[in-house]
Structures are given as C-alpha cells and as structure tokens.
C-alpha cells in the first residue's frame, strides 16, 4: 500500500519536495495567491494526510489479520464485531477521502487548486488549511447544500 504514496520512480515525495519550505511556513494573505510556495505547502499537506491514512489502514489490516475473529463469549463477539464494523466503515470513508486528496493533487498540477469550481473565485486560505480538499468557497458550498436540501425535500 505504501507504494501508492511514492512517486512513479519509487521515491517518497515528502522527502523530495520540489521547493523547500522554510520551517514553520504557513500561507499568508500578504503573498500572491497560490504562488509556488503556497502550492508546495498544500501539496505537502495533502501528501502527508494521505500517507497517514494509508499507514492507519495498514495497521488496521495487520490487526484484522492477526486477531481472532471469533470470541468464545457471545457478548464479547458482538462487541468485537461492532468495533470492527465501525473501524471498517471508517476505513471506507478514508478510502473515499484518498480519492478526494488525489483529485486535489491533480488540481495543484493543473493549476486549478485553490479556486472555486463554481465561481472561479479564490477559496480562502483558512478554508483550504482547514479542508485542503475543498473545491468551493464557503458561499458556493452553502448555496450547493441549500439546493441539495431543497431537492431532497421535493
């Protein structure tokens, strides 16, 4: 699984960043929006997030393979199955999150990262730091969610 995080040549992209960032760097509104430094910051943020998810998934898989699936006591078995059900649902959500992270990385490569897919306006740096996979400004996201709610209510 770890090979998913590595670049095609097998190297770890976190160790071979295209642009070295100063220690403690955080994007600022004082800079040009989505300059090379900001793009590299978000690329590293996304790659680190993806790597952490994959590491957790490998740990879950290892535990699942090594732990007994059948507990002798029915109550223990039910509790264990419930725990695993929750864990597997979490991993499934994270699998979907990885595809969103990959899409954000593609947007960085395509020069579209940080801009709303609906309005074309810049997404605030605060929103991108809180949710680096965001594709819409807060306002566009709110409109989208209102429209979804109206559609569901019909």
Q: What residues does each domain of the chain span?
A: 32-113, 116-154
Q: How many CB atoms lie within 10 A of CB 53?
A: 18
Q: 26 near 5, Cβ under 8 Å?
A: no
pLDDT tens track for 47-81:
999 999 999 888 877 776 676 666 677 777 787 77
Q: What share of the chain is helix, strand, coil (3-state, %, to 5)?
A: 60, 0, 40
Is residue 57 classed as helix, strand or coil in its secondary structure?
Answer: helix
Q: What is the mean pLDDT of residues 18-46?
A: 92
Question: 21-26 long-range CB contacts below 8 Å, 24 or more apart?
Answer: 26/129
Handedness of CA 77, 78, 80, 84 (dihedral sign): positive
- Tell me which DSSP letter residue 72 carries: S
Our measurement of the distance from residue 3's CA atom to the centroid of its chain's CA atoms, rounded to an integer in Å, reads 17
Best-predicted range by mean pLDDT (12-16, 52-56, 90-94): 52-56
Structural Rg of the chain based on CA atoms: 20
Q: pTM (2 decimals)?
A: 0.75
pLDDT tens track for 97-133:
999 999 999 999 999 999 999 999 999 999 999 999 9
Give the whole-angstrom CA distance, residue 114 versus residue 111: 9
pLDDT higher than 70, residue 2: no
Instruction: Work out the percent of the chain whose per-residue pLDDT is above 70.
Output: 82
Q: What is the third-level CATH fold of 32-113?
A: 1.20.120
Q: What are phi and psi of 62, to 5 degrees?
A: -65, -45
- Tell me which DSSP letter residue 3 carries: G
pLDDT at 70: 65
């Amino acid at each position: 699984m770890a090979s998913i995080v590595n670049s095609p040549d097998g190297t770890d992209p976190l160790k071979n960043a295209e642009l070295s960032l100063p220690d403690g760097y955080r994007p600022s509104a004082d800079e040009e929006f989505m300059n090379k430094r900001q793009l590299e910051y978000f690329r590293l943020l996304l790659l680190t997030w993806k790597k952490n998810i994959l590491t957790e998934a490998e740990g879950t898989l290892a535990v699942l393979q090594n732990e007994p699936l059948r507990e002798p006591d029915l109550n223990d078995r039910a509790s264990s199955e419930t725990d695993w059900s929750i864990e597997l649902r979490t991993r499934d959500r994270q699998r979907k999150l990885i595809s969103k992270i990959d899409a954000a990385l593609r947007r960085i490569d395509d020069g579209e990262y940080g801009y709303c897919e609906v309005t074309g306006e810049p997404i605030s740096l605060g929103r991108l730091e809180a949710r680096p996979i965001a594709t819409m400004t807060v306002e566009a996201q709110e409109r989208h969610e209102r429209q979804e709610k109206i559609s569901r209510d019909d």
